Structure 1
Amino acid sequence: MSISLFELALYTGALFVLFLTPGPVWVAMLARAMSGGFASAWPLAMGVVVGDVLWPLLAILGVSWIVSEFTYFLEAMKWIAVVMFLVMGVMLIRKSDTAIQSNSRLTAPGRWAGFIAGVAVILGNPKAILFYMGLLPGFFDLSQLTVWDIVAVCAISAIVPFTGNVILAGFVGKMRAVLSSPDALKRMNITAGVLLILVACVIPFT
């Protein structure tokens, strides 16, 4: 492998912080767990894994091809990643008291329905590949990645959110209480926003 343990650890930490940021998958997990418990929510987490592997893989392959054509692309993308994390952090802090809206269409009963809902949520946003194209060069030199590097990156991209989603489903009762409290939600969003900004500050030195 050409990437270091530090680079993998930093990327893992960034993914964990991003998981703490409420989004469509987060809301879908909560909706299913609240409606059908853990048994209803874990198939959705499995469905999300499909996109969490596919999007970074396609981003790596796409960026690697672009790098072969344009010399300074990776350096530019690293600074794009810095700006992206800064903007996400600031926006999260500014909108820290925004309530989360649920989607009842994601709560259909059944394991297969849960799995399909997970796939639909994660693949329903094609802009995710652009997100990874901006994110990954901030952590890795994509022009030097080996097959095992790509496997490691895709595995971490899937394992971190999957673990978080399963824990979220398992403790849904406590999470529901947190989300029902505007003050607690605001504190959580501010914390996640600050962490995203810190990640942006670290990227230039990797």
Structure 2
Amino acid sequence: MTLSASDLLLYAAAVFVLFLTPGPVWMALTARTLSGGFQAAWPLALGVVVGDMLWPVLAIAGVGWLTSASAQISVGLKAVAVIMFVWMGIRTIQTADRSIAADSRLTKGGGWAGFAAGVVVILGNPKAILFYMGLLPGFFDLTQVTIPDVIAIVFVSQIVPLLGNLGLAAMIDRVRGFLSSPSALRRTNLVAGSLLICVGLIIPFT
């Protein structure tokens, strides 16, 4: 394996910051947990894992081929990753007062319905698409990754959001109170946006 523990830890931190940023997965998980409790939410969390496996694999396969053509392309992709993360951070700060609303279309009962909702939400999540397709080349040299490297990247991409989503579902009563407080939501979004910007500024030095 060519990846170091520090490489994977930094990547895990970036994935965790992505999880902390409110988005479609948060809305879906909140909707199902509020409607049916943890029992209704954990299948959705498992569905999200499917996308968290698919996107990094596609990014490594597709972008890895591009970066093998030119070292300049690799540098350019890293620059795109920096811009993307800083932009996401700025947008999160700009929309810090935006509340997370429940979507009744995501509350259909049944484990398979929850699992399917998780797959649909993550595959259609523009934040996840931008993250994996634009950021992976900024963290790793995709021309040099081995099969064990890919397995490690996919594992981190899955386990960090899975644990976060399950934890969020388990504490949904507290989260419900938190979401009803505009000041608390604003503070969390400001922190998440600042962390996104910080990660973006660190990427050039990795």
What is the TM-score of this pair, normalised by structure 2?
A: 0.96
Letter in 2 for 1:37: G
Change (3 A) 1:127 1:29: closer
Letter in 2 for 1:56: P
Matching residue of 1:121: 121
- Write out per-residue CA displacement over residues 179-200 of structure 1, whole angstroms, 9 at most, x where no aligned residue: 1100000000000011111111
> For residues 1-206 of structure 1, what are the structure 2 equivalents within 5 Å?
1-125=1-125, 128-206=128-206
Tell me how far apart the structure 1 counterparts of residues 22 and 126 of structure 2 sit (CA, whole Å): 18
- Write out per-residue CA displacement over residues 70-108 of structure 1, whole angstroms, 9 at most, x where no aligned residue: 331111111111111111111111110012222111100
Shift of 1:131: 3.5
Q: Indicate the percent of aligned positions where both proteins have the same amino acid.
A: 58
Tell me how far apart the structure 1 counterparts of residues 127 and 15 of structure 2 sit (CA, whole Å): 17
Which range is displaced more, 116-125 or 190-199?
116-125
Count of matched residue pairs: 206
Shift of 1:126: 7.0
Q: Is the 8 A contact 2:55 2:133 kept in 1?
A: no
3-state secondary structure, aligned to 2:48: helix
Tell me how far apart the structure 2 counterparts of residues 65 and 44 of structure 1 sit (CA, whole Å): 32
5+ residue gaps, structure 1, are none
Tell me how far apart the structure 1 counterparts of residues 84 and 145 of structure 2 sit (CA, whole Å): 23
Q: Is the 8 A contact 1:47 1:118 kept in 2?
A: yes
- Write out per-residue CA displacement over residues 26-58 of structure 1, whole angstroms, 9 at most, x where no aligned residue: 110010000000000000000110000001100
Tell me how far apart the structure 2 counterparts of residues 71 and 199 of structure 1 sit (CA, whole Å): 23
Q: Is the 8 A contact 1:56 1:129 kept in 2?
A: no
Q: Is the 8 A contact 1:58 1:129 kept in 2?
A: no
Provide the aligned C-alpha RMSD in A. 1.3
Tell me how far apart the structure 1 counterparts of residues 17 and 123 of structure 2 sit (CA, whole Å): 21
Letter in 2 for 1:192: A
What is the TM-score of this pair, normalised by structure 1?
A: 0.96
Q: Is the 8 A contact 1:89 1:197 kept in 2?
A: yes
Shift of 1:128: 4.2
Tell me how far apart the structure 2 counterparts of residues 92 and 129 of structure 1 sit (CA, whole Å): 17
Tell me how far apart the structure 1 counterparts of residues 96 and 63 of structure 2 sit (CA, whole Å): 33
Q: Is the 8 A contact 1:64 1:142 kept in 2?
A: yes
5+ residue gaps, structure 2, are none
Shift of 1:202: 0.9
Tell me how far apart the structure 1 counterparts of residues 162 and 127 of structure 2 sit (CA, whole Å): 20
